[in-house]
Amino acid sequence: MRKVIRLFLLTALAMFLAAAAGCGGQENTGSDNESKTEDGQEVVNLYTSRHYDTDRQLYDMFEEQTGIKVNVIEGKSDELIERMKIEGENTEADVFITSDAGNLYMAKESGLLQPIESDVIFNNIPEKLRDPDNQWFGLTKRARVIVYAKDRVDPSELSTYEALAEPEWEGRVTVRSSENIYNKSLLSSFIEIMGPEAAEEWAAGIVDNMSRDPQGNDRDQAKAIVAGTGDVAIMNTYYVGRMINSEDPHEVEVAESIGVFFPNQETTGTHVNISGAGVTAHAKNVENAIKFIEFLTSEEAQGEFAAANYEYPANPDVEPSELVKSWGEFKEQDINLSVLGEHQQEAMKIFDRVGWK
């Protein structure tokens, strides 16, 4: 109910803003007065679902280097997508940043992004981490791994995602809900790699082996297994890094009590997802938007992403932080991440059929 109310209020606000913009007596032509502040400063307007201090520091660095002011609106991914739909041509957004390739695919399919050409970005970001039509580009990577309670699980017991669906793991697997975009993308990757029937068989096996009904976020899965509710969990690597460096002593204790295991190293590789960026379809400051994404994919900015938020750089010329490197190198799934969005509807149907709450 709260989500419905929040979305209703957001929709009403966006409609008001769009109407107000339409009554200003001018068309949105992309003229200089729309790409500059009152004192003549160039701008780029960002809608982002990321909410990290590191990101804000990078925006400041971009401003200092280019003189282009970054105006930021933060919100949840689905709410920002809905806002851009309602605002249409009157949107102020030039760049959209969000986590998960599934969300980026949704924005593209909704007609909210545009293709761009930039040799700088193409050289910085590998092909499999960008949209085939050049409408979005990876900024950071996060691996979705198996974490385990060190006091109860020997890592030699672990091997693949598929093995967690076997009977020996009954009552031992802790995982988030099927509504979570990370799990939708994980299952979508299995649909691509092993086919829908095998993917559904895996999902049904995980449901049979759950230690509890799905609930909470990734951190809560780690806390649950340390508390004895299950022995293994599926979660993103960067949460482990953030917990290890948390100001909350309990989170630090939890992070030190779990191990990180990269599954499927002898087969299809570990599932990797991204946060990424695209230039919006109705951007008024396209040139500035491209410069902004070029900066965010540069070695300088990628190093900051890696050092502060414990994510893997999308730029292969930049190394992860020392903590992340300490978990070891690993083989990734060899798929273009656009398929995570393409298979999302099928993944949701599978979750419903197998009873993954």
Q: Where are the domains of the chain?
A: 2-140+273-323, 143-271+331-354
Is pLDDT at 185 greater than 50 in this prediction? yes
Task: Note the pLDDT tens digit of each residue in 17-49.
Answer: 444 333 333 333 333 335 666 567 899 999 999
Is pLDDT at 16 greater than 50 in this prediction? no
Is pLDDT at 12 greater than 90 in this prediction? no
Q: Is 192 helix (H, G, I), strand (E, B) or coil?
A: helix
130: β partners? 137
Q: Is 279 helix (H, G, I), strand (E, B) or coil?
A: strand
Q: Is 73 helix (H, G, I), strand (E, B) or coil?
A: strand
CATH class of the domain defined by 143-271+331-354 = alpha beta
Alpha helices in 297-337 (DSSP H): 299-309, 322-326
In CATH, what number does 2-140+273-323 get? Answer: 3.40.190.10
Task: Note the pLDDT tens digit of each residue in 89-126.
Answer: 999 999 999 999 999 999 999 999 999 999 999 999 99
State the average pLDDT for the chain. Answer: 90
Q: Same fold for the domain at 2-140+273-323 and the one at 143-271+331-354? A: yes
Tell me the DSSP string of 31-55. -GGGSB-TTS-BEEEEEES---HHH
N residues, the chain: 357
For residues 233, 237, 241, 244, the Cα torsion angle rounded to the nearest 10 degrees is 10
pLDDT value, residue 51: 87
What are the tokens at 341?
């969005």
Q: Give the span between the Cα atoms of 198 and 176, in whole angstroms.
A: 20
Q: Give the span between the Cα atoms of 288 and 172, in whole angstroms.
A: 50
pLDDT value, residue 35: 63
CA-to-CA separations, 153 to 33, 70, 173, 232, 253, in angstroms, rounded: 62, 47, 12, 8, 17
Q: Give the span between the Cα atoms of 189 and 336, in whole angstroms.
A: 10
Helix (H), strand (E) at residue 148: strand 137-149
48: β partners? 74, 97
Task: Note the pLDDT tens digit of each residue in 291-315.
Answer: 999 999 999 999 998 888 899 999 9
Q: Give the span between the Cα atoms of 8 and 340, in whole angstroms.
A: 28
Q: Give the span between the Cα atoms of 235 and 178, in whole angstroms.
A: 13
What are the tokens at 83?
């806002």
Task: Note the pLDDT tens digit of each residue in 49-99.
Answer: 998 888 999 999 999 999 999 999 999 999 999 999 999 999 999 999 999
pLDDT value, residue 283: 97
